[in-house]
Structure formats: structure tokens, C-alpha cells
């Protein structure tokens, strides 16, 4: 059978006595496909496909009788993009990805689809994806971690939503960068930071991260019921990798949290906004940077620096690295051992060869 083409649709014959469906006048959706016998979405074709039969063709043509014919291509593509984002979000939820991962992945895929807004998401080619990645690296100068997030987000869309294989080299994770030492605050710097916090809520919030080694996402999701004042533990639920763990609850922090609770009366979350909702990670980051700028400390610190500082100070206090690993929720001990490279106590016990050289010179001078 020959291909059928009008201003509204294009039926392209493919192997197996089937038509590949391309519709221009409206966005062809799953509900439309169900009205055609044997119609299905082909991952290989990246389009809807139907049998080359008179019955299927008749059912297909009936769809156009009740459809608007004046919709523009721009409007059609916008509908396609919205559907792609909804399908993407639904699949992330069904796969039980964490709330923070869903936010990050959706942001990456929305930016990607907006970049190709003149293309149907299903028709974006591998070469298009490669060009997008090169643009981010050469023009936007994205970081190593951001590049990994973009790759993961796009892979998820094409593999889990569209069922397309992504084995091209530019879908591989970038070469692992050399290990960099985390930024850590000294005890003096930490005290200086806490002094800048102008409310008991902010003080309680950031002292909770430091004293228990929480990630920002873990703090945002911390509930009042997660604190065990009898066992002096904090239950971290659904942390990185959707894992639960426990970490320590400081005596001083417990007193501070009780005073904070009496003043602010949070209902569900340990730290709630004025509307009684969870804080967003961005809101807490802004609080941190505003206070940290006042310290005039030259280090490039973030909220996560408080977690690094927690681990480093525990090591300096003589705590075993394996116990710290459990408190932090690290799978691999090597991840925790990086803090052994930056503990000031360990470094202070090492004598510089220059000091030994100068000491030898002094002794030689005395013997002259």
C-alpha cells in the first residue's frame, strides 16, 4: 500500500504491513490510539503504528471528524512537550524516585525539551542529544556533577518513558574527576558563623545539620517524630538511596530544639516555613549564604560544608572512622576516609623536614 499524506496526517508504510502514523493537525494521544484496532506505540519507530487494514484506516480517519483542524504546529508541539513532561514525572513517581531526585531530573528534562521546542520530543535524534551536551559543556560550562545529572535525566526519559536504547558514547558518565578535598570549617570559624544567625530557628536548623551530619535533603524531610530524646538519636528516613539510618542527637541541640519548639510550634516537620510547609532546599541555602557572607571567611562554603565539618571534627576528637561512616550513611568506607586527609590534629603531629633541617643547623652552630 502506498503512503497517505494530507495537511493533517502522514501514514508511512513500514515492514509488517503497518503504517507509521505522523499527525500534524492535532497531537495524537493514547486515547486516540485505543480507538484504532491493533494500534500501538513503537519504541523502534518512536511513533504510533497501526495495521494496514481497511478497518484500521477507517477508524483512523474517523478521529479527524471531531478534531480541530486549525491548531498550529507550535501549539501541537507545546501539547507534545507537556505530555512528555507529564509522562516523565509519572514514571519517576512510579519508580519511587526521591522527591529531590524528581525535582532535579524534571528541571533537566524541561530545559532539554525547551532547547528543542521546535521538535516533537519523540523525534529528537541521538545527534541532537549529542549537540545539546556539547552546548552545555562548551557554552554553559556546566560542572562535572551537573553533566552527570543531565545524562541521567535524558537517559531516563528515552529508556524508561520512550523505551529507546541509549548506548551512544555521549550517554556514558564522564571521566571521574580527581578526588578533591571537601571544604571544612575550623571550630573558631564555625562559632563565628553561628553568631551571625539572627533567630533561634536558624540557629537550631544549622546546628542540627552540624551536630548530626545531616544532608540538606534529610534536614528538609526531618519530622518532629524522627527525634528520639530518650535514646538521644535522630532517625533519618529515606536518605540518599532511599535508605534509613540513625545518627546522634546532641544534648545541647536537644535543649536548643525544645526552646525553638516552644517559640515556633511546628506541626509536622521539624523546621517549617511561616505557612507551615516544608522549607525548600533553596530557601535554606539562601539563609546559609546570607549569614556566611557576614563572617568574611574566604572559604567557599555551602550548607553541605557543615556535614563535612561534622565528620572532620569527630575524627579530630578521636572517633573511629567506621562509626563515622555509619553516622553519615556512606556505603563505602573510602568515601568517609577522605576526611582523614584533612584533620588538623593528624597533620599537626607531622614535623616538616624544614624544621628538622633548621634544628640540625642550630645544633651544628652550637658545636662550632
What mean pLDDT value characterizes the chain? 86
Per-residue cell: 295: 563572617
Confidence bin at 347 (pLDDT 50/70/90)? low
Query: Is 339 marked active-site?
Result: yes
- Among 9, 158, 260, 339, which one carries the catalytic annotation? 339
Q: Could you read off the pLDDT of 118-170 as tens digits, one per residue?
A: 888 888 888 888 899 999 999 999 888 888 899 999 999 988 888 887 777 66
Which residue is catalytic, options 18, 207, 307, 308? 307
Q: How far is CA 239 from CA 106, 128, 218, 248, in A?
A: 20, 35, 6, 15
Give me the mean pLDDT over the 231-240 stretch. Answer: 88
Question: Which residues are registered as beta bridge partners of 233?
Answer: 228, 248
Closest by CA to 9, choosing from 44, 60, 83, 74, is 60
Kindly name the residue from 240, 245, 261, 264 that is annotated as catalytic: 240
Residues paired with residue 260 on neighbouring β-strands, in sequence order: none
Determine whether 307 is an active site residue: yes
pLDDT tens-place string over residues 11-69: 888 888 899 888 876 667 777 888 899 998 887 777 889 999 989 988 988 887 766 55
Contacts of 64 (CB under 8 A, 6+ apart): 8, 9, 25
253 has a pLDDT exceeding 80: yes
The string of pLDDT tens digits covering residues 71-101 is 567 777 888 888 899 999 999 999 988 888 8
Residue 240 known to be catalytic: yes
What confidence tier does 269 reach under pLDDT thresholds 50, 70, 90?
A: very high
pLDDT tens digit sequence for 188-223 = 999 999 999 999 999 999 999 999 999 999 999 999
Q: Give the pLDDT confidence score for residue 284 in this predicted structure.
A: 95
Our CA angle for 314, 320, 325, nearest 5°, is: 80
Catalytic, 304? Answer yes
Q: Which of 202, 207, 215, 308 is catalytic?
A: 215
- Would you call 211 exposed, middle or buried from its count of C-beta atoms within 10 A (0-12, 13-18, 19+)? buried
Higher pLDDT, 132 or 8: 132
Amino acid at each position: 500500500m502506498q503512503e497517505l499524506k494530507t495537511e493533517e496526517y502522514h501514514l508511512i508504510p513500514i515492514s509488517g504491513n503497518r503504517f507509521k502514523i505522523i499527525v500534524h493537525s492535532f497531537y495524537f494521544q493514547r486515547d486516540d490510539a485505543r480507538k484504532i484496532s491493533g494500534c500501538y506505540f513503537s519504541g523502534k519507530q518512536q511513533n504510533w503504528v497501526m495495521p494496514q487494514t481497511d478497518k484500521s484506516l477507517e477508524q483512523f480517519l474517523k478521529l479527524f471528524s471531531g478534531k480541530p483542524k486549525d491548531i498550529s504546529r507550535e501549539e501541537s508541539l507545546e501539547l507534545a512537550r507537556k505530555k512528555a513532561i507529564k509522562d516523565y514525572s509519572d514514571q519517576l513517581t512510579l519508580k519511587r524516585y526521591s522527591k529531590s531526585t524528581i525535582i532535579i531530573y524534571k528541571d533537566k528534562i524541561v530545559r532539554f525539551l525547551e532547547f528543542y521546542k521546535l521538535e516533537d520530543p519523540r523525534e529528537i535524534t541521538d545527534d541532537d542529544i549529542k549537540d545539546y551536551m556539547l552546548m552545555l559543556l562548551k557554552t554553559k560550562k556546566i560542572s562535572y556533577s551537573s553533566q552527570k545529572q543531565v545524562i541521567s535525566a535524558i537517559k531516563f526519559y528515552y529508556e524508561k518513558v520512550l523505551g529507546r536504547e541509549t548506548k551512544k558514547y555521549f550517554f556514558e558518565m564522564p571521566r571521574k574527576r580527581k578526588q578533591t578535598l571537601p571544604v571544612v570549617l575550623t571550630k573558631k570559624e564555625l562559632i563565628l558563623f553561628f553568631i551571625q544567625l539572627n533567630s533561634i530557628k536558624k540557629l537550631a536548623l544549622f546546628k542540627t545539620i552540624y551536630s548530626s551530619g545531616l544532608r540538606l535533603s534529610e534536614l528538609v524531610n526531618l519530622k518532629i517524630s524522627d527525634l528520639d530524646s530518650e535514646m538521644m538519636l535522630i532517625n533519618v528516613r529515606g536518605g540518599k538511596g532511599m535508605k534509613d539510618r540513625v545518627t546522634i542527637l546532641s544534648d545541647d541541640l536537644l535543649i536548643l530544639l525544645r526552646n525553638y519548639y516552644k517559640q515556633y510550634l511546628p506541626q509536622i516537620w521539624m523546621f517549617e516555613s511561616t505557612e507551615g510547609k516544608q522549607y525548600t532546599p533553596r530557601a535554606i541555602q539562601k539563609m546559609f549564604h546570607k549569614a556566611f557572607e557576614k563572617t568574611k571567611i574566604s572559604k567557599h562554603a555551602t550548607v553541605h560544608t557543615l556535614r563535612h565539618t561534622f565528620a572532620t571534627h569527630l575524627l579530630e576528637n578521636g572517633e573511629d572512622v567506621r562509626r563515622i561512616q555509619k553516622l553519615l550513611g556512606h556505603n563505602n568506607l573510602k568515601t568517609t576516609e577522605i576526611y582523614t586527609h584533612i584533620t588538623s590534629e593528624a597533620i599537626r603531629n607531622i614535623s616538616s623536614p624544614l624544621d628538622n633541617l633548621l634544628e640540625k643547623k642550630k645544633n651544628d652552630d652550637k658545636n662550632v
